[in-house]
Amino acid sequence: MHYFDTIAALRSFFHTSRTTHQLGLVPTMGALHDGHLTLVEAARHQSDLVVTSIFVNPVQFNNPDDLARYPRTLEADLEALEAAGCDVVFAPSVDEMYAEPPLLRLHFGELETVMEGAFRPGHFNGVGIVVAKLFNIVQPDRAFFGQKDLQQVAVVRRLIRDLSFPVELIRCPTIREADGLAMSSRNRNLTPEERELAPALYQALTLAHDLLAEGQSPAQAKAAVTGYFATRPGFQLEYIEVANADTLQPVAEVLAPGQTAVCIAAHLGNVRLIDNVVF
């Protein structure tokens, strides 16, 4: 496995070795878990050369404490990527990626008026900028993103379309712990007590899904989830939404199969968790 921490070194490697390779990019912020490794696995199946980026992008953090607490485990990440068959790791410093704070501002219209966009102002500007930079630096044929960050998938899809990046976006399913909790780097910041409570997030999504499948309305399903958390200590529910899985706009009724998403965000102690199901 090759490791690069500068853009120049990575470009020089591609210059000499790229030729006809189909290149797959897995963008991450590190602190890798099996969710990330399934993206690498998918990339391996659909590319000849897999590049994983590890970069905790300060521009997408709207909360400085969240940035400071974000787990960083580079050595273990490199071991996991080597074992997973990743070919190239690109792990630049903040200075390497941003000689100066970017002046560019990206807007994603109604995509950022809801959920993650509404509760994390500026977040998708930061995601859009760093993903555009990674696309320019790595020039992948395909890029692999997790469904766990469903709104991010929609933002990147739009970024690709608006800027004509010749990149195919692949959405990969959410990988869960045995108790249903979606794997997430931030899970490492949960206390043992919080970790025991955490599966309630997925249970709430399942409750909403089941009610919708029985014919209840999105409003009824959302009210049920709000009630579920009202009796649950430790959690602060931020939002529960039933939305179009592509546009992320709220819907008043269930859509065709595969097009409805139930999305949730909640704080558990100091940790903010998100999850969703699409059906």
Catalytic residue (choose from 2, 15, 21, 36): 36
**Residue 266 CA: distances (Å) to CA of 134, 142, 206, 235, 270:** 30, 32, 15, 6, 10
Residues touching ligand BAL, count (CB under 6 A): 3
Whether 36 has a binding-site annotation, put simply, is yes
- Pick between residue 152 and residue 260 the one whose CB is nearest to ligand BAL: 152
x/- mask, ligand PAF, residues 42-81, rule CB under 6 A, reads: ---------------x--x---------------------
Burial class (CB in 10 A: 0-12, 13-18, 19+), 121: exposed
> Residues binding ligand PAF: what is the number (CB under 6 A)?
10
Does the footprint of ligand BAL cover residue 275 (CB under 6 A)? no
Positions that interact with ligand ATP (CB under 6 A): 28-29, 35-36, 39, 145-146, 148-149, 172, 174-175, 182-186
With vertex at residue 144, the alpha carbon angle to CA 140 and CA 149, rounded to the nearest 5 degrees, is: 135
Ramachandran quadrant class, 253 (left: phi over 0; alpha: psi -120 to 50; beta: rest)? beta
Identify whether the C-beta of residue 124 lies closer than 8 Å to the C-beta of residue 150. no
Dihedral class, residue 247 (left if φ above 0, else alpha if ψ from -120 to 50, else beta): alpha
Residue closest to ligand PAF when measured from CB atoms: 27
Of 16, 11, 40, 15, nearest to 28 by C-alpha is 40
Interface with ligand BAL includes 149 (CB under 6 A)?
yes
Q: How far apart are CB 65 and ligand ATP at their closest, in Å?
A: 14
183 labelled ligand-binding? yes
- Residue 107 annotated to the active site: no
The tokens for 138 are 């790595």
The number of beta carbons lying within 10 Å of the beta carbon of residue 196 is 12
What does the DSSP 8-state code read for residue 275?
E
Which residue sits closest to ligand BAL, CB atoms considered?
149
**Contact flag: residue 127 with ligand PAF (CB under 6 A):** yes
Residues in contact with ligand BAL, shown as a per-residue x/- string from 166 to 205 under the rule CB under 6 A: ----------------------------------------
Span 50-69, contacts to ligand BAL by CB under 6 A: 60
Continuous segment of H or E residues that includes residue 144: strand 142-146
The candidate with the shortest Cα–Cα distance to 56, out of 27, 79, 18, 24, is 27
According to the annotation, is 117 in a ligand binding site?
Answer: no
Question: What character string, x for contact with ligand PAF (CB under 6 A) and - otherwise, covers 20-39?
Answer: -------xxx----------
CB 237 within 8 A of CB 208: no
- Angle value at C-alpha 246, between 244 and 249, nearest 5 degrees: 40
234 is in an annotated binding site: no
Q: Is 21 annotated as a binding residue?
A: no
Tell me whether residue 29 is annotated as binding: yes
Considering only residues 143 to 182 of the shown chain, the ones binding ligand PAF according to CB under 6 A are 149, 152
Binding residues: 29-36, 60, 146-149, 152, 175, 183-186
Chain residues that interact with ligand PAF, rule: CB under 6 A: 27-29, 57, 60, 127, 130-131, 149, 152
Chain residues that interact with ligand BAL, rule: CB under 6 A: 60, 149, 152
Catalytic residue numbers, as ranges: 36
Binding residues for beta-alanine: 60
